[in-house]
């Protein structure tokens, strides 16, 4: 079968499509010369070929409802890659028969692998082997090739909410409450997609699955994925950096400790850490109405904090680059994260009982950090964080340059120090 006959095969696959459906192609870069200028490039030309099937599956899901079809042309060697194989297995479970995979140089054993993933049955994606296409050497791209801006997503349910989330109060663990909020929103907003609540979807976060759902963001959808507790964010960092480079507004929520040193790689993400239910709910409302990629870190156990601030607090504590004053004091400041907020408040109560008044400032936005507020904190300053989420070193670089003292109280074994230890450390700093 010549390249012309393969082009004819693709044209037959596209035949009969009417608007609003589209004929879409995803072609491995080494084959673009075969098809000529224009039609040969396909979509996502700068994406690693091992991820091409994942984004093609997302396109097929988007086209299913409007009658469109998607064709993918890949070399047989790619099928052995974990990302491609995972996408193939997921597609066999959740994608319809509007997806066609052509395997260049494929053997019967290759097609058998795809069939074992659930392809080539009624209502399922289709795959077939074709003679090997002439390949052209391709230099891997280090920057994404963007042909357009992604369509913005407008959620009417979140209009005018400010910092007051619209959903009713939920109960249970922090991740159960967030799940309830997301389900409430998805019931009212058809553009909201929840991977963890999608029937038939059982794949854990990985390079392929993250790209699959991020590509749905490029189709005019708001995707929010509540990851399994303890998900390994460090292992996902290369993929998260890639997604940010493409400006895909994926929303991830997870209960997992991670150091700010690792999070620093996500400079194009909004990364926040909520200390309790109201704060998490407000941040979630903001991030779901936000076009940038966002990561929300939930505490393993919610803190028992003071009354949630009103919208008059500026900057609002639920926006990128903001923090939250839990209490104020003129004799010093304690800086906490979501895992040490309770401890710092108890330490401040101990100090207040002895006549010493210090403020407690919660760093809720980790990327970007609340630089303006950190630089005007009242000295002396004590930073309290657990060993698992050690933000102290980077926060310390942003503290007032003339602070009389800087001190870090680090926990042992991933736990924050107790309130009495923090109170004593603050007394020593004040002198």
Q: What are the structure tokens assigned to 146, written together?
A: 């963007």
Q: What is the dihedral of CA 95, 97, 103, 107, to 10 degrees?
A: 100
CA distance 375 to 110: 59
> What is the CA angle 229-235-236, rounded to 5?
80
Q: Are 99 and 126 in contact (CB under 8 A)?
A: yes
Q: In Å, how far from its chain's centre is CA 404?
A: 39
Under a CB-based contact definition with an 8 Å cutoff, are residues 243 and 212 in contact? no
Residue 56 has what pLDDT? Answer: 97
Sign of CA dihedral 290, 154, 241, 193: positive
Phi/psi region, residue 120 (left: phi>0; alpha: psi -120 to 50; beta: rest), is left
Q: In a 10 Å sphere around its CB, with 0-12 CB exposed, 13-18 middle and 19+ buried, how is residue 119 labelled?
A: buried
Strand order from edge to edge, sheet including 126-130: 23-27, 69-75, 99-104, 126-130
The pLDDT profile of the chain, 431 residues, written as one tens digit per residue, is: 567 778 888 889 998 898 899 999 999 988 877 776 555 568 888 889 999 999 999 999 999 989 999 999 999 999 999 999 999 999 999 999 999 999 999 999 999 999 999 999 999 999 999 999 888 876 655 555 554 567 889 898 887 665 567 888 888 888 899 999 999 999 999 999 999 999 888 888 999 999 999 999 999 999 999 998 878 888 999 999 999 888 899 999 998 767 666 787 888 999 999 888 888 888 999 999 888 999 999 887 777 765 555 445 666 778 899 898 888 999 999 998 888 888 899 999 999 999 999 999 998 999 998 988 888 888 898 888 775 555 666 677 777 776 765 665 555 455 667 889 899 989 988 88
- 3-state DSSP helix/strand/coil % of the chain, to nearest 5: 35, 15, 45
- Please state the φ and ψ torsions of residue 94, each to the nearest 5 degrees: -125, -10
User: The tokens of 103 are what?
Assistant: 């395997």
Q: Are 251 and 289 in contact (CB under 8 A)?
A: no
The widest CA-to-CA distance across the chain, in whole angstroms, is: 87
DSSP 152-180: P---GGGTT-TTS--SPP--SSHHHHHHH
Nearest to 281 by CA among 256, 261, 305: 305
Task: Establish whether the linkage from the previous residue to 315 is cis, with ω within 30° of 0.
Answer: yes
Strands 406-410 and 381-385: parallel
Which pair of structure tokens corresponds to residue 357? Answer: 């008044």
Q: What is the pLDDT of residue 412?
A: 47
Question: Rounded CA gap, 28 and 52, in Å?
Answer: 8
pLDDT score recorded for residue 315: 67
For residue 47, give the DSSP letter.
Answer: S
Please state, in angstroms and rounded to a whole number, the distance separating the CA atoms of residues 250 and 269: 10
> Could you give the CA distance from residue 112 to residue 292 in angstroms, rounded to a whole number?
40
The answer to whether the beta carbons of residues 159 and 133 sit under 8 Å apart is no
Q: Are 91 and 57 in contact (CB under 8 A)?
A: yes
Beta carbons within 8 Å of 353's beta carbon, 6+ residues apart: none
Whether omega for the bond prior to residue 73 falls within 30 degrees of 0, making it cis, is no
Q: What is the per-residue burial (b if ≥16 Cβ within 10 Å, else e) of 258-276?
A: bbbeebeebeebbbbbbbb
401: phi > 0 → left, psi -120 to 50 → alpha, else beta; which?
A: alpha
Predicted TM-score (pTM) of the model is: 0.90
Residues in the chain: 431
**Rounded-to-integer distance, Cα 291 and Cα 293, Å:** 7
Report the C-alpha gap between 417 and 411 in whole angstroms.
Answer: 5
């Amino acid at each position: 079968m010549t390249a012309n006959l393969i082009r004819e095969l693709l044209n037959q696959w596209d035949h009969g499509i009417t608007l609003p459906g589209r004929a879409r192609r995803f072609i491995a870069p080494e084959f673009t010369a075969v098809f000529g200028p224009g039609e040969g490039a396909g979509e996502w030309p700068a994406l690693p070929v091992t991820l091409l099937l994942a984004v093609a599956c997302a396109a097929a899901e988007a086209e299913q409802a409007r009658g469109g079809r998607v064709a993918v042309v890949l070399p047989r060697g790619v099928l052995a890659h974990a990302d491609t194989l995972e996408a193939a297995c997921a597609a066999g479970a959740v994608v319809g028969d509007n997806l066609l995979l052509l395997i260049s140089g494929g053997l019967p054993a290759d097609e058998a692998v795809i069939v074992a993933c659930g392809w080539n049955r009624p209502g399922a994606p289709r795959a077939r082997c074709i003679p090997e296409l002439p390949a052209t050497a391709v230099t891997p791209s280090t920057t994404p090739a963007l042909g357009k801006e992604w369509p913005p997503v407008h959620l009417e349910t979140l209009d005018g909410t400010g910092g007051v989330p619209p959903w009713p109060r939920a109960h249970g663990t922090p991740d159960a409450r967030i799940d309830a909020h997301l389900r409430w929103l998805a019931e009212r907003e058809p553009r909201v997609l929840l991977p963890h609540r999608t029937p038939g979807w059982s794949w854990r976060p990985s390079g392929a699955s993250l790209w699959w759902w991020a590509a749905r963001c490029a189709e005019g959808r708001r995707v929010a994925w509540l990851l399994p507790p303890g998900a390994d964010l460090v292992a996902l960092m290369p993929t998260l950096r890639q997604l940010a480079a493409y400006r895909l507004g994926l929303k991830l929520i997870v209960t997992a400790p991670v150091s700010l040193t690792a999070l620093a790689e996500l400079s194009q993400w909004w990364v926040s850490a909520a200390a309790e239910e109201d704060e998490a709910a407000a941040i979630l409302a903001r991030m779901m109405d936000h076009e940038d990629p966002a990561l929300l870190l939930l505490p393993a156990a919610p803190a028992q904090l003071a009354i949630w601030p009103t919208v008059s607090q500026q900057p609002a504590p639920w926006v990128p680059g903001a923090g939250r004053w839990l209490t104020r004091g003129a004799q010093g400041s304690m800086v906490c994260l979501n895992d040490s907020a309770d401890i710092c408040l108890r330490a401040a109560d101990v100090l207040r009982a002895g006549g010493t008044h210090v403020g407690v400032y919660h760093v809720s936005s980790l990327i970007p950090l609340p630089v303006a507020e950190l630089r005007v904190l009242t000295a002396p300053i004590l930073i309290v964080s657990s060993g698992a989420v050690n933000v102290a070193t980077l926060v310390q670089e942003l503290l007032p340059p003339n602070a009389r003292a800087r001190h870090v109280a680090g926990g042992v074994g991933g736990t924050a120090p107790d309130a009495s230890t923090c109170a004593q450390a603050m007394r020593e700093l004040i002198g």
